[in-house]
């Protein structure tokens, strides 16, 4: 095999490279979680292309997992498509997400997928988070999304139900998510370049005081309004002086 042919083969985007012997990551976007960065062979999210997150939808912690990616300093817009609930603008801004470059997209299935493909391929969107619309996604649709994200240098994260793990996918990185407790997430590698399936890590997405469940209602003290004392003066009406204690105000 000639050296020129080998370099041409290695330069192809669909050629998977094994992990370096020293474990050094190349070209990955930091996820914001050190444990997850160590788990991923590129040291973070891929710079571009399709990533699949397999989880029991709607999976509320998923948005917390992607907040650092949405808040990164990459130029370009951020797009959240088909979220199960309306994201809180205040919470996004507090996490550092630039709201002036954020777009939340809803729509019917075919139009939504077409809009996401065009946005990912436009070279104007840095990060796109898409909750898969109802029904199975054909392999051709997944491949178009992956190629569009590569063309537009966009990180396209697709949230799919866990049963989709049985379907082959062109996504180089597929992760399974599980939420064992509020504010906690277990990430298991289903597939990644240069890595072994089954590797996992445990993440805490929220501070400890927010991960603790609230106390039961029965244990909270009962608060009642203190009745007004009988000797307290009657409040004055506008334009009329207050009555002294013990004297009833005349009827009009």
Closest CA to 189 of 178, 180, 204: 178
Give pLDDT tens digits for 175-233.
999 988 878 899 999 999 887 789 999 998 865 444 455 556 555 565 566 655 655 55
Closest CA to 149 of 233, 53, 49: 49
pLDDT, residue 134, reads 85
Residue 25 has pLDDT above 80, yes or no: no
Domain membership flag for residue 238: no
Helix (H) or strand (E) holding 4: helix 3-10
Residue 7 has pLDDT above 80, yes or no: no
Domain membership flag for residue 113: yes
Domain membership flag for residue 18: no
Top pLDDT among 21 and 39 is at 39
Give pLDDT tens digits for 28-64.
899 999 999 999 999 999 999 999 999 988 887 889 9
The whole-angstrom separation of Cα 74 and Cα 69 is: 9
Closest CA to 159 of 82, 67, 79: 82
Residue 128 has pLDDT above 60, yes or no: yes
Domain membership flag for residue 173: yes
pLDDT, residue 21, reads 36
Top pLDDT among 197 and 129 is at 129
Average per-residue pLDDT for the chain: 82
Task: For 62-221, list the strands marked E by DSSP.
Answer: 77-81, 102-105, 125-131, 155-160, 173-178, 184-191, 200-204
Q: At 142, which CATH number?
A: 3.40.50.300
Domain membership flag for residue 237: no
User: What is the rounded average pLDDT of the residues 140-159?
Assistant: 97
Domain membership flag for residue 235: no
Query: Could you tell me the residue range of the domain that residue 143 belongs to?
Result: 27-207
The number of distinct structural domains making up the chain is: 1
């Amino acid at each position: 095999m000639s050296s020129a042919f080998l370099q041409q083969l290695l330069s192809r985007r669909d050629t998977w490279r094994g992990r370096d012997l020293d474990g050094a990551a190349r070209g990955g976007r930091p996820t914001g979680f050190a444990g997850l960065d160590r788990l991923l062979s590129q040291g973070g999210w891929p710079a571009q292309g399709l990533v699949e997150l397999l989880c029991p939808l709607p999976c509320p912690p998923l948005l917390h997992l992607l907040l650092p990616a949405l808040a990164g300093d990459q130029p370009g817009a951020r797009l959240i498509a088909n979220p199960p609930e309306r994201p809180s603008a205040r919470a996004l801004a507090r996490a550092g997400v630039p709201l002036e470059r954020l777009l939340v997209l809803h729509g019917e299935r075919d139009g939504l997928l077409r809009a996401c493909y065009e946005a990912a391929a436009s070279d104007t969107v840095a990060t796109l988070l898409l909750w898969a619309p109802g029904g199975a996604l054909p392999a051709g649709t997944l491949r178009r999304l992956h190629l569009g994200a590569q063309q537009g240098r966009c990180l396209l994260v697709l949230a799919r139900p866990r049963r989709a793990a049985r379907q082959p996918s062109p996504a180089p990185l597929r992760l399974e998510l599980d939420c064992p407790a509020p504010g906690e997430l277990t990430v298991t590698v289903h597939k990644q370049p240069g890595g072994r399936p089954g590797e996992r890590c445990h993440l805490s997405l929220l501070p400890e005081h927010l991960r603790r469940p609230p106390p039961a209602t029965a244990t909270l003290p009962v608060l009642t309004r203190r009745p007004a004392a009988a000797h307290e003066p009657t409040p004055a009406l506008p334009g009329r002086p207050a009555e002294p204690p013990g004297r009833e105000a005349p009827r009009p």
